[in-house]
Amino acid sequence: MIKVFAYNNNICYQGQKLKNNSDTINLALEEIKKVQFAQNDINYVYKIGAKPPFKNGQEVYDFIKNSKIKIKFAPMPSHDTHAQWDIDENTIKINEIYKNNKNKAVVLAISEAIIHEAGHAKDNDGESSIQEELNCLSLNAMAHRDYDRKYPNIYDSGQENIVKNGVTLYSEIYFEQNPYRLIKKIQKSYSHLPPGDVIHPACNLAYAIKYNHF
């Protein structure tokens, strides 16, 4: 079974060990270690009903390392699929169109995608739900804001899809006062999923997204 950051399907690709990761992925992992979620951001995501699966980037990094999760570039079904969690291969896959791209904005975007997929990997069940996506999206949205604070204007130069239409857009709409755009975006990508699951009971927002009750 596959978890997706965007909304697409499984693609197989030969694995590689964490220590053999490309420089781009190693750079992303180094950034992950330093990620801190702002308390205001944590308060906000809990308020809308999300439960972030990790407290900070170091926890994400340690989980990836201790679980022996591999990270690699792999083909994806489309430009809009930025990353996938492949439970069968214990691997987080990043769209290979970013392979060897060391542009800082792209490295940070890849790190956010890794953080998101690690959130999926944590429950080890190979299933997803709108609530689980809300939880995992809160991770990349909060990490994005941490990078924005640490590296002002870093994303301005990033024209790549993963930067502009991926992590930047998600972070922006996640923290908008009016959740309309977040709801529409999640409906577009994840409306086929159940509102919640045993490990991730649906909050009101997840039910609202699923059944379009507003």
Residue that is written with structure tokens 């699929």 in the block: 81
CB of 31 to Zn ion, least distance (A): 19
Residue number, 9 or 159, with CB nearest to Zn ion: 9
Integer CA distances (angstroms), 34 to 100, 118, 132, 154, 166, in order: 22, 16, 24, 16, 21
CB of 85 to Zn ion, least distance (A): 8
Q: Backbone phi, then psi, for 93, in 5-degree steps?
A: -110, 135
- Which residues contact Zn ion (rule: CB under 5 A)? 5, 133, 136
CB of 120 to Zn ion, least distance (A): 6
Residue number, 23 or 120, with CB nearest to Zn ion: 120
- Angle at CA 28, nearest 5°, toward 157 and 167? 50
Residue number, 90 or 103, with CB nearest to Zn ion: 90
Residue number, 114 or 136, with CB nearest to Zn ion: 136
Gap between the Cα atoms of 182 and 187, Å rounded: 8
> Residue type for 129, please?
S
Gap between the Cα atoms of 134 and 200, Å rounded: 10
CB of 20 to Zn ion, least distance (A): 25
